[in-house]
Amino acid sequence: MSQARIRNAFESRLATWAASKALPVVWQNVGAGNMTGDHLRAFLLPAQTLTSDLAGKHRGYRGVFQVSIFTRPNIGANRAEVLAGELDELFPVALRMLSAGLTVQVMTPMASRPSIVETDWYSVPVDCRYEAHEFKA
């Protein structure tokens, strides 16, 4: 399935970067457990698959890749803002990632969304839009 290839493109790049920073990543549908320090949570949010030909051979995949940055509360926003900037550099606009024969392209800059303050966490969702196209034989 193409969503799995798209997920792999984003997650493998994120995993390599996060490992270099010793920053744990909680993947979609995997429990966060008892996280005690800064970490990321990654989500692939696919939109409706499109087709642009009458023969039905084209598939246009699009959606949003979101990374939520979790830091401890009451330390200010700087740590999350720095990580958001680094994620924007990691996934620049027009980046093309190849995954099992499918090219996935980042279509928008990584954008920070409103922060969420909880008792134990301060989180900032950061996301970009993506597209991928293929033609079936």
How far is Cα 54 from Cα 80, in angstroms, rounded to an integer? 46
Alpha helices in 22-136 (DSSP H): 78-90
- Count of other CB atoms within 10 angstroms of residue 40: 22
For residues 66 and 127, the answer to whether their CB atoms sit within 8 Å is yes
pLDDT tens per residue across span 88-106: 999 999 999 999 999 999 9
- Domain locations in the chain? 2-135
Q: Does the domain spanning 2-135 belong to CATH 3.30.2000.20?
A: yes
Q: Please tell me the predicted confidence (pLDDT) of residue 57.
A: 92
Q: What are phi and psi of 28, to 5 degrees?
A: -55, 135
pLDDT tens figures, 46-65: 999 999 888 889 999 999 99
**Residue showing tokens 């989500």:** 43
Both structure tokens of 101: 């024969």
- The CA-atom distances, in angstroms, between 124 and each of 8, 26, 67, 92, 135 are 23, 15, 8, 18, 36
